[in-house]
Amino acid sequence: MSSFNRRAVLAMLGLMPLAGCGFQPAYGTDGVAADLQGRLALQDPTERDEFDLVARFEERLGRPNAPIYDLSYSLRTDEEGLGISAQQEITRFNVLGYLDFVLRDRRTGLIVAQGSTSNFTGYSTTGNTITTVTAQRDAYARLVVLLADQTITRILAVLAADAS
């Protein structure tokens, strides 16, 4: 026995305009992200945050095995104190991150995409030294993941626009 499912009908009606405009998911089998798997080489990392950045790119887009694009970047981070206790000690920090990037076609050397992304995370210092250092490292790692994901999204958008 089947019943009329109004939500399914509304969902199908909502997707119909996308079918007419040539919409194609970036992560679909024929999407831009599939074409970028293993095709993007990043500059060699030199510090912990850069290693985390490269690891996130490789997690999302695979390790470069036949790169056709080179990505150079400049990663900057900064901390600013937010919360202050009655004893005038900072109890919370914001970690600010900025990533400038340039994507080049490896064959021609031409710039395919460039830009900047920024984001922030935070951590508290209310525990002992070990928990504070752990929270700080975690905040930096989370920040780098956010910056990498934003950058990947921007690159995929540029490549998708160029492909259409």
Give me the residue spans of the domains in the chain. 6-163
Look up tokens 């104190």; give the residue: 81
**pLDDT exceeds cutoff 60 at 159:** yes
Indicate the pLDDT class of residue 65, thresholds 50, 70 and 90: very high
The pair of structure tokens assigned to 90 is: 């900072």
Reported in sequence order, the residue ranges of 2-161 that DSSP labels E, i.e. its strands, are: 40-42, 69-84, 90-105, 111-124
pLDDT tens digit string along 27-40? 544 556 677 889 99
Q: Which fold has domain 6-163?
A: Double Stranded RNA Binding Domain (3.30.160)
**pLDDT exceeds cutoff 90 at 126:** no
Contact 98, 104 (CB under 8 A): no
pLDDT tens digit string along 44-61? 999 999 999 999 999 999
pTM value is 0.80
